[in-house]
Amino acid sequence: MANYRIAYLPGDGVGHEVLEAARSVLDAVGFQAEYVPGDVGWEFWRKEGNPLPERTVEILKNTDACLFGAITSKPKEEAAQELAPELRDKGYEYSSPIVGLRQLFDLYANVRPCKAFPGNPLNLRDDIDLGVFRENTEGLYAGVEFHPIPEQVSKTLAAHSPKMKRFADKPADQVALSCRIFTWEGCKRIVRAAFEYAQEHGYPSVTVVEKPNVIRETSGMMLRAAREVAKDFPKIELRDTNIDAMCMWLVKNPQDYGVLVSSNMFGDIISDLSAQIVGGLGFAAAGNISKEYGVFEPTHGSAPKYVGQKRVNPLAAILAGKMMLDWLGEKEKGERIEQAVAQVIREAKVRTHDMGGTDTTDAMARAVAQAAAG
Ligand code: IPM
Ligand code: MG
């Protein structure tokens, strides 16, 4: 009998291949679940004008957690051109389904562990162990954007900010505006999640990665929230580093950092950088979580050019499965997956293309499944 109901959303491109791999490893550790498949991605944008159909959202509402594969997304003009002819010019606008899910289910924490597995030839160093916490529902991803800028918006901003005046004079279609919206609650809960994680996993510090010396109001709010939350965690050091400097330090001295916490856009950037120093996107898993629900995904894209070749490293998806187990409270099974991944990497018998070898997605999944089954 299945204990859990898991929404299964492979999405586009190699999403199918890597989620199958993750599932085989979850089976190997005896995770009992019914997987409920759902439609998401480019195909549904083209056919229905909606990459995240309502029926899929309903599946998520009726499951314990979700495994998510990969998504193809394209800029505005390309997306409009690929829409089925009968749907064109009807006001459909493409927006990323994963970003949609994060906001719809208020999955405010995007958790991205970036730990170097010793022996991985792609590591920058073997002693890197980072936990990246990215705010997942607001900031520059809030979706409050204008082009052309409505006159009223432009005038109101100019009335409240002298700095707006030099933009307000320009023709409306020559100004684009994307709002970076932070809330006090949004800042506090992501910082709290980061501190709780640091405490649970024994990290000595949490570093806020923002730019409060320039972006005073939003980045400033994140830093103030961090100072307040930090009072509840006297044993953990609060550090703050600007996003630009952080990019440099992550290449220079990544071993000096533990948990990093940032807003949506900066968090997106540092999570790719952090992923690359421990092997790249083939190793990078993410959990989009709240207390109520979690969507777990490899952070890589749909890699259309590799579809069907079984070339992609499934470890990111497998580690996403591990994160899902942890979140569901199945920590022993999760730990077995992590140990199995560590063992397969250390033993160096299986190497996917990104690691300089020729082994397939399935070969890697089989090796991990075997090691995890014991
Ligand atoms: C990520 C990705 C997404 C993001 C894209 C696919 C919309 O880059 O999960 O990091 O920007 O959040
Ligand atoms: Mg990203």
Closest CA to 310 of 357, 368, 360, 359: 360
Return d(Cα 294, Cα 289) in angstroms, integer: 4
For residue 99 and ligand 1, the question of a CB distance below 6 A is answered with yes
Residues 12 and 107 both lie in one domain: yes
pLDDT at 75 (0 to 100): 85
Residues 166 and 93 both lie in one domain: no
- With the most atoms of ligand 1 within 8 angstroms of its CB, the residue from 96, 103, 273, 274 to mutate is 96
Q: Which atom of ligand 1 is nearest to the CA of 71?
A: 6
Residues 314 and 267 both lie in one domain: no
- With the most atoms of ligand 1 within 8 angstroms of its CB, the residue from 14, 98, 178 to mutate is 98
Return d(Cα 150, Cα 209) in angstroms, integer: 33
Cα 73 from chain centre:
15
Domain CATH number, residue 225: 3.40.50
Residues 257 and 328 both lie in one domain: no
Residues 248 and 361 both lie in one domain: no
List, in order, residues 6 or more apart from 153 with CB less than 8 Å away: 146, 177
Write out 93-122 in H/E/C secondary structure. Answer: CCCCHHHHHHHHCCCCEEEEEEECCCCCCC
Return d(Cα 190, Cα 38) in angstroms, integer: 29
Strand 285-289 to 109-115 pairing: antiparallel
For residue 317 and ligand 1, the question of a CB distance below 6 A is answered with no
Residues 169 and 83 both lie in one domain: no
Residues 299 and 343 both lie in one domain: yes
pLDDT at 74 (0 to 100): 87
Backbone angles phi, psi at 50, to 5 degrees: -150, 110
Residues 134 and 253 both lie in one domain: yes
Number of domains present in the structure of the chain: 3
Residues 206 and 234 both lie in one domain: yes
> Does residue 60 form part of some domain?
yes
Q: Which atom of ligand 1 is nearest to the CA of 99?
A: 7
> Does residue 50 form part of some domain?
yes
For residue 101 and ligand 1, the question of a CB distance below 6 A is answered with no
Q: What is the pLDDT along the chain (374 residues), one digit of tens a residue?
A: 569 999 999 999 999 999 999 999 999 999 999 999 999 999 999 999 999 999 999 999 999 999 999 999 888 889 999 999 999 999 999 999 999 999 999 999 999 999 999 999 999 999 999 999 999 999 999 999 999 999 999 999 999 999 999 999 999 999 999 999 999 999 999 999 999 999 999 999 999 999 999 999 999 999 999 999 999 999 999 999 999 999 999 999 999 999 999 999 999 999 999 999 999 999 999 999 999 999 999 999 999 999 999 999 999 999 999 999 999 999 999 999 999 999 999 999 999 999 999 999 999 999 999 999 97
Residues 133 and 165 both lie in one domain: no
3-state secondary structure of 296: strand
> Does residue 124 form part of some domain?
no
State the distance from the centre of ligand 1 to the C-alpha of 73, rounded, in angstroms: 10
Residues 263 and 294 both lie in one domain: no
Residues 233 and 346 both lie in one domain: no
> Does residue 97 form part of some domain?
yes
> Does residue 20 form part of some domain?
yes
**Last-in-domain residue among 259, 277, 295:** 277
The ligand with the least distance to the CA atom of 71 is 1
Closest CA to 158 of 169, 144, 148, 147: 169
> Does residue 117 form part of some domain?
no
pLDDT at 73 (0 to 100): 86
Return d(Cα 94, Cα 97) in angstroms, integer: 9
Domain CATH number, residue 343: 3.40.718.10
> Does residue 373 form part of some domain?
yes
> Does residue 236 form part of some domain?
yes
Domain extent for 167: 145-178
